[in-house]
Amino acid sequence: MNSYAYNCKFCSKPGIVKADPLGLEMFTLEKWLPKIACNRCGAFMDLKFKITQELNRMCRVLQTDSKVKRGDEKIKAKLVILTKRYSQVACDYYRLTNVWEEQFAEMIFDHPGELYTILNTYLQQLAREARKATTASV
């Protein structure tokens, strides 16, 4: 086993990864090391991916099922649960107080085709707040 230094591809935190150099033969190190994420980011990306998939399923139902009425309370209730989980996971990651607003679920309900834009905007907002919080405490 050899140790290799890397920077997390998401938060650029430095870390060390142990790997068998023989197992790395098929990869070139310069290509492989920039793709590594630290545990914290890896766990977040994994959860985020799972919740996003579920949200996406709900959005597809909203977009395609003609029997679903726009005011369907069941779908709205699911979106509330999923967006709450999403904001919990994201706020934990950015070390922020959980700031879920009903508007978050409503926006997705009203614009299911823009799910990814809505989620990205939300994450960008959190990242900005997290940056502000770090500069304020220094």
The footprint of Zn ion (CB under 5 A) covers 8, 10-11, 13, 38, 41
Minimum distance, C-beta of residue 8 to Zn ion, in the bound complex (Å): 3
* Count of residues making up the chain: 138
Q: Residue 2, SS3?
A: strand
3-state secondary structure of 17: strand
Decide whether 34 or 113 has the Cβ nearer to Zn ion: 34
Q: Nearest distance from residue 26's CB to Zn ion, in Å?
A: 25
User: Which is closer to Zn ion, CB of 93 or CB of 104?
Assistant: 93
What region does 125 belong to: left with phi over 0, alpha with psi -120 to 50, or beta? alpha
What's the min distance (Å) between Cβ of 45 and Zn ion?
9
